Amino acid sequence: MTDIRNIVILTGAGISAESGIDTFRDGGGLWEQHRVEDVATPEAFARDPDLVLRFYDMRREAIQQKEPNPAHEALARLDDIWPGELLIVTQNVDDLHERAGASRVLHMHGTHLNAWCTACDVRSPWRGTLIERPSCPACGESALRPDIVWFGEMPYEMERIYGALRNADLFVSVGTSGAVYPAAGFVRDANALRVRTLELNLEPSQGSGWFDEARHGPASELVPEWVDEVLIP
């Protein structure tokens, strides 16, 4: 690992699974209780806003009761002392990376803890509910929606992510099924850029074969082990 300076780490629902947050596609995952097309598209929100707002209010409340696990803590430790460039690109909309102490975090699919005003386009920190149609703190309109990237919408800060990948020596993917694009394509982008790639996941992901190396097991074990390897070469 001595030749590694710049690292991009992609995280998905699997890193928060051991904190008690359901993944999307595993048995018992969210999609079994709510069909994705019923809640995670702009069309669903237009069709049945109450269903969508209730669903996100429930999840916003739930994530605030959860705690980071050893995988989040290990990445925060790495972030704290890694002298090179490092970017944790998370698909997760919880704040467990930040609560573990990481600061170089980019939420490409948004966050539960913001509300986005569709009238004035301002995003405001938000911990309560949206179902009662509260006013936007910036403009006063009742036009707030979850600040979540739904299917068909553009994930956030793609230029910054691709810029970090272009500079990276190592791309690590943690706890993601490789089912949702563009994140699922980052390993191929890294391949094309000749960036070394490592998968840490409970089981082989859909894109597992594209990684230079894949290790399978729980994130709470694999991530601290890998961080120790990187920090003590």
Q: Which of the residues are catalytic?
A: 109
Per DSSP, which regions of 32-187 are E strands? Answer: 86-90, 105-107, 110-117, 123-125, 144-148, 170-174
Q: What share of the chain is helix, strand, coil (3-state, %, to 5)?
A: 35, 20, 45
**Can you tell me the distance from the alpha carbon of 18 to that of 68, in angstroms, rounded to the nearest whole number?**
9
135 vs 216 by CB, closer to ligand BJW: 216
Nearer to ligand BJW, 6 or 205 (CB): 205
Any bridge partners for residue 11, and if so which? Answer: 90, 174
Residue closer to ligand BJW (CB basis): 5 or 99: 99
Coil, helix or strand for 157? coil
How many angstroms separate the CA atoms of 175 and 45, rounded? 28
3-state secondary structure of 117: strand
Beta carbon of residue 3, minimum distance to ligand BJW (angstroms, whole number): 27
Report if residue 138 touches ligand BJW, rule: CB under 6 A. Answer: no
Decide whether 120 or 179 has the Cβ nearer to ligand BJW.
Answer: 179
Q: What are phi and psi of 86, to 5 degrees?
A: -150, 135
Rule CB under 6 A: say whether 207 interacts with ligand BJW: no
* Residue among 202, 208, 212, 230 that touches ligand BJW (CB under 6 A): 202
Residue 111, classed as helix, strand or coil, is: strand
The CA angle 67-73-78, to the nearest 5 degrees, is 155
> Residue from 9, 24, 96, 126 that binds ligand BJW (CB under 6 A)?
24
For position 29 contacting ligand BJW by CB under 6 A, the verdict is: yes
Judged by CB under 6 A, the residue of 201, 211, 214, 224 near ligand BJW is 201
Binding status of residue 203 toward ligand BJW by CB under 6 A:
yes
Compute, in degrees rounded to 10, the torsion defined by CA atoms 69, 70, 74, 77: 70
Distance CA 202, CA 79 (A): 23
Exactly one of 74, 87, 88, 93 binds ligand BJW (CB under 6 A); which one?
93
Q: Which stretch binds ligand BJW (CB under 6 A): 11-19, 118-126, 135-143, 188-196?
A: 11-19
Looking only at residues 167 through 196 of this chain, which bind ligand BJW when binding is defined by CB under 6 A? 175-177, 179-182
Binding region for ligand BJW (CB under 6 A): 12-14, 17-18, 23-26, 29, 40, 91, 93, 109, 148-149, 151-155, 158, 175-177, 179-182, 201-203, 205, 218-219
